[in-house]
């Protein structure tokens, strides 16, 4: 049977007389042979598993290590700002990458994400996490310039006034007391960035000048923002 298959294969390739094989036993063979000779099957590219990277490459230069470092940087940056959607991050990073401003892209990136409403509430210690800040905003507990704001991705400008609704101040005060107790037990008082003017009695925040601010004290992780911008833009 094997010799017959080889013979028929050679016969079909040489003379291309598929129509002469009329018997039913050759129908499946002809169908598979014609399918295998399609252009997209005959000249298909190598799959992902065909690519390999050496285990003995120099430090940081192998494909495997670069992929690992880029992925770790992107995930760390994303988790720090509350697990944002990939589509939103790619859009913002692309705009930063293509920005024609004379400033450093790293400074533009940090200033943009620190100007978000959820980040400001977290930095002012009104919430213990960015997800809690988003919950406050979504439940209509926060006002900007005396108007209720429901978008946690709202970018604040210099001079904006952030307030807590009168009926919701008790919720924020309970969270604030818990944060203060936690830091008091660790003998560490929570610090607020210098571009925020916070009144804890009235629970108001005034957003100040964020340009050229030193964010080294806020970023409590080793982060390569330039790599995060480039990776989100490329991928």
Query: Which domains can be identified in the chain, with CATH numbers?
Result: 2-40 (no CATH), 69-113+226-234 (no CATH), 116-207 (3.10.290.10)
**Across the chain, which distance is largest between two alpha carbons, in Å?**
93
**CA 113, CA 93: separation in Å to the nearest integer?**
11
What is the mean pLDDT of each successive set of 10 residues along the chain, which is 235 residues long? 50 50 69 64 47 51 78 89 90 88 84 93 89 92 92 92 90 81 57 88 91 79 79 82
Residues 6+ apart with CB under 8 A from 219: 80, 110
Rg (CA), the chain: 30
- C-beta separation of 138 from 215 below 8 A: no
Global confidence as pTM: 0.68
Predicted confidence at residue 38, as pLDDT, reads 60
Bridge partner residues of 199 (DSSP): 204
Angle between helices 105-114 and 225-234 (to 10 degrees): 90
């Amino acid at each position: 049977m094997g010799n017959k298959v080889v013979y028929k294969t050679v016969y079909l390739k040489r003379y291309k007389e598929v129509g002469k094989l009329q018997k039913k036993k050759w129908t499946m063979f002809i169908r598979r042979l014609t399918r295998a000779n399609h252009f997209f099957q005959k000249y298909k590219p190598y799959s992902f598993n065909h690519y390999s990277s050496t285990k003995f490459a120099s430090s940081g230069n192998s494909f495997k290590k670069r992929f690992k470092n880029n992925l770790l940087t992107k995930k760390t940056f994303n988790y720090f700002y509350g697990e944002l959607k990939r589509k939103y991050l790619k859009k913002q990073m692309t705009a930063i990458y293509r920005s024609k401003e004379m400033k450093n892209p790293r400074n533009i990136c940090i200033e943009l994400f620190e100007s978000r409403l959820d980040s400001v509430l977290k930095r002012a210690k009104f919430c213990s996490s960015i997800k809690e800040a988003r919950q406050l905003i979504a439940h209509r507990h926060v006002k900007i310039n005396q108007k209720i704001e429901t978008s946690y991705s709202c970018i604040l400008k210099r001079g904006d006034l952030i307030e807590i609704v009168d009926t919701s101040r008790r919720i924020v005060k309970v969270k604030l007391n818990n944060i203060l107790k936690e830091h008091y037990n660790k003998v560490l008082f929570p610090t607020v960035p210098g571009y925020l003017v916070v009144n804890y009695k009235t629970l108001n925040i005034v957003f100040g000048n964020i340009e050229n601010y030193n964010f080294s004290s806020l970023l409590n992780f080793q982060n390569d923002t330039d790599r995060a911008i480039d990776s989100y833009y490329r991928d």
